[in-house]
Amino acid sequence: MIVPFRNERRYLERCVEALLAQQDAPQYEVVLVDNGSTDGSGGLARRFPVRVLTEPARGSYRARNTGVAAATGRILAFTDGDCVPEPGWLRTLVAPLDDPHVDLVLGGRLHTRDSAGLRLLTAYDTARMGRTLAVARPEDYYGGTNNLAVRRSVFDAVGPFEEIDRRADALFVKQVARVRGPAAVSFVPEARIRHLEISRVRDVYRKKFTYGRSAQRTRARARVGGLPLRDRIELWRETAAFRERPALLVLLAGGALCWSCGRVAGQVSRPD
């Protein structure tokens, strides 16, 4: 398991404790990569029986590549220092890799709080990921390195991660789907991590803005697409009870607005 971190003292202890307490998991090692922390989180990491590396050059994807270079396993699992995996996360995440046709697995996400708004957005995002992979258009694939596992051989053939500020994980997932075929990418929503940085809907909106800006900056290398409107409407109906649909619609509209504002910001700011 490879975990980059920078100034994550607030969350890192919970993350590492959860990684070391994985239940019924295959043999694994934990590789933490300190990406220039100044808050003492590097010293905190060294209190645990894990490997701790240092990557002084700024960039979480550079840190992940450093971790991959030092890792020894045939399967590479990734999460982040502000995430807490559930006890059976690793076992569930890597299980699809027993199928030789599957090369990369994405897991599900929860948030710090289970408010009504976050619950609706989580349900919709989970359904959207499943539908996206079912449609089998590699150009629309995406994923995050806070919950991802990939065969080492495939990473070596398709990787490493591009060392850009953001969205290198989405570009990597797309590339695996192009090179290995859409069926090589699997989604297991039951392999859950809890993203501690997200505790309110406005935290989701802040992320949407950032992702929109990053998508604009990487548009020359990857199509920024998504599900057709018809599919999105079906997902909206399927993931919310009738009385909850107006609230979910407002939440999705707010997210779309933040994404669009991020795209505009990406047009006027300098590239990564």
One DSSP character per residue, 49-105 reads SSEEEE--SS-HHHHHHHHHHH---SEEEE--TTEEE-TTHHHHHHGGGGSTT--EE
Strand ranges across the sheet with 31-34? 51-54, 31-34, 2-5, 75-78, 148-151, 104-111, 185-195, 83-85
pLDDT value for 51: 97
The two tokens of residue 179 are 């090179």
Averaged pLDDT in 10-residue chunks for the chain of 272 residues: 96 97 94 96 96 96 97 97 97 97 96 90 95 88 95 97 90 95 96 94 93 73 70 94 96 94 79 45
Angle, helices 245-268/116-135, rounded to nearest 10 degrees: 70
Tell me, what's the pLDDT at 113?
83
Report how far apart, in Å, the C-alpha atoms of 79 and of each of 18, 29, 96, 100, 211 are: 11, 13, 18, 23, 18
Q: Is the pTM of this model over 0.85?
A: yes
The confidence score (pLDDT) of residue 189 equals: 97
Domains observed in the chain: 2-200 (3.90.550.10)
pLDDT at site 112 = 83
Rounded to an integer, what distance in angstroms lies between the CA atom of residue 60 and that of residue 163? 8
pLDDT computed for residue 226 by the predictor: 73
* Confidence (pLDDT) at 221: 57
